[in-house]
Amino acid sequence: MSGQSEIIDRVPKDESAPQQPEEEVALNTILPLEVIDKSIGQNIKILLTNDKEFHGTLVGFDDYVNVVLENVQEYDSDGPKGKIIKKMLLNGGLVAMLVPSIN
């Protein structure tokens, strides 16, 4: 966040000049983890590298994309597997993709 504002601050400020496209790009850039941050509290689908999936409510995550989930259902290639897990910490080492807002 602070890095972003630094970049913007370094752009010379000229009141008369129209909006620079570079500045717009800097403002509109969304970091990948910001997308995930917006999904906290919502349902999320997590695809692993071993073709397993975890569907649940996203509670939190860290820079390694270790993920805390609630009410999780595990899936493998055959479909749902096991019971609903109330709360869990999923190791980020196997995470391939996070897909927000599934139902």
Closest CA to 48 of 61, 32, 34, 65: 65
Question: Interface with other proteins includes 97 (CB under 8 A)?
Answer: no
CA distance 74 to 54: 5
Q: How far is the CB of 90 from other proteins (least distance, A)?
A: 5
Residues forming beta bridges with residue 98, ordered by sequence position: 46
Question: Interface with other proteins includes 87 (CB under 8 A)?
Answer: yes
Q: How far is the CB of 11 from other proteins (least distance, A)?
A: 33
State the chain's maximal CA–CA distance in angstroms. Answer: 63
Q: How far is the CB of 49 from other proteins (least distance, A)?
A: 10
CA distance 15 to 17: 6
- Are 69 and 59 in contact, with CB atoms under 8 Å apart? yes
Question: Interface with other proteins includes 38 (CB under 8 A)?
Answer: no
* Residue entry with tokens 């897990």: 85
Q: How far is the CB of 87 from other proteins (least distance, A)?
A: 5
Of 4-12, 13-21, 23-31, 80-88, the window that binds other proteins (rule: CB under 8 A) is 80-88
Footprint of other proteins on this chain (CB under 8 A)? 40, 50, 54, 59-62, 66-68, 72, 85-91, 93-94
